[in-house]
Amino acid sequence: MKTGLKYTIFKTKWGFFGLLADERGLLRTVLPMDNFKQTKKYLLVGMFGGISKDRELYFELQKAIKGYYNSSYVDFKKLHFSISLPKSNTLICKVVKVCKAIPLGRTITYSQLAKKAGFPKAARAVGSVLAKNPLPLIVPCHRVIRADGKIGKFSAPGGSKTKKKMLELEKERSKEISPLRDALRQK
């Protein structure tokens, strides 16, 4: 049983988003849900005792997440916060690292991610890792799609509809920032 757990739930344009952390870092995120109570139940499932609410928990991250759902460009890699994931599983660590590097507005397939993570024949295993991703949005598993180009399943609240909506939001946002990025490169 983990101790020293803290959580916060805050409102975004898409609904209530949750963060759960321990003393080492962020443990779990919950994508927007319709109400606070539902989000809290989903966020704290399997957690017992010693959990305190902290409205200031990862406050800069909260602001960035709110910005994301307001269609602002957010690069979560530039924010400074720790992630508390098991270090013992090499596959999980490498999949998470490669997944976190997928740029906004881009997608890759499960087999491409497996290859980049160093496990070229493990596309199904990669899919299993991502299906259990405790940090959706922060570890952008929604950017990983099937080899046939279809978005595939999504285990976060809202399922495939949420995944599709997130990809559409990011695609639009990346179209807006691409000309700016190109102009900055030319200077």
Per-residue pLDDT, 88:
66
Q: Does domain 5-78 have CATH number 3.30.160.70?
A: yes
pLDDT tens for the 187 residues of the chain, in order: 456 899 999 999 999 999 999 988 999 999 999 999 999 999 999 887 789 999 999 999 999 999 999 988 888 888 888 888 777 678 888 999 999 999 988 999 999 999 999 999 999 999 999 999 999 999 999 999 999 999 988 988 889 999 999 999 998 887 776 544 444 444 5
DSSP, residue by residue, 49-104: S-EEE-TTTTHHHHHHHHHHHTT----GGGS---B---SS-HHHHHHHHHHHTSPT
Q: What are the extents of the domains in the chain?
A: 5-78, 90-186
CATH class (in words) of the domain with range 90-186: mainly alpha
pTM: 0.87
